[in-house]
Amino acid sequence: MRLLIFPFVSLLGCAMACQGQPHASEATQTHHIFISDTTMETAIVASGCFWGTEYFMKRIDGVISTTVGYTGGFVENPTYEQVCAKRTGHYEAVAVQFDPSKSTYEAVLRMFFETHDPTQSNGQGPDIGPQYRSAIFYQNEAQKETATSLIDLLRIKGYDIATELLPAAPFYSGEGYHQDYYDNKGGTPYCHGYRPLF
Residue range 136-142: mean pLDDT, rounded: 98
In angstroms, rounded to a whole number, what is the distance separating the alpha carbons of residues 84 and 14? 9
- pTM for the model stands at 0.87
Catalytic residues: 49
Q: What is the pLDDT of residues 40-96, one digit of tens each?
A: 999 999 999 999 999 999 999 999 999 999 999 999 999 999 999 999 999 999 999
Name the CATH topology of 33-180: Peptide Methionine Sulfoxide Reductase; Chain A (3.30.1060)
Helix H, strand E, coil C: the string for 41-66 is EEEEEEECCHHHHHHHHCCCCCEEEE
DSSP assigned state of 2:
B
Q: Are strands 63-71 and 164-167 parallel, antiparallel or unpaired?
A: unpaired
Q: What is the DSSP letter of 49?
A: S
Domain residue limits, the chain: 33-180
Q: Which residue, among 177, 42, 27, has the nearest Cα to 105 in the 3D structure?
A: 42
> What's the whole-number mean pLDDT along residues 157-163?
98
Residues paired with 167 in a beta bridge: 138
pLDDT class of 39 with cuts at 50, 70, 90:
confident
pLDDT tens-digit readout, 67-76: 999 999 999 9
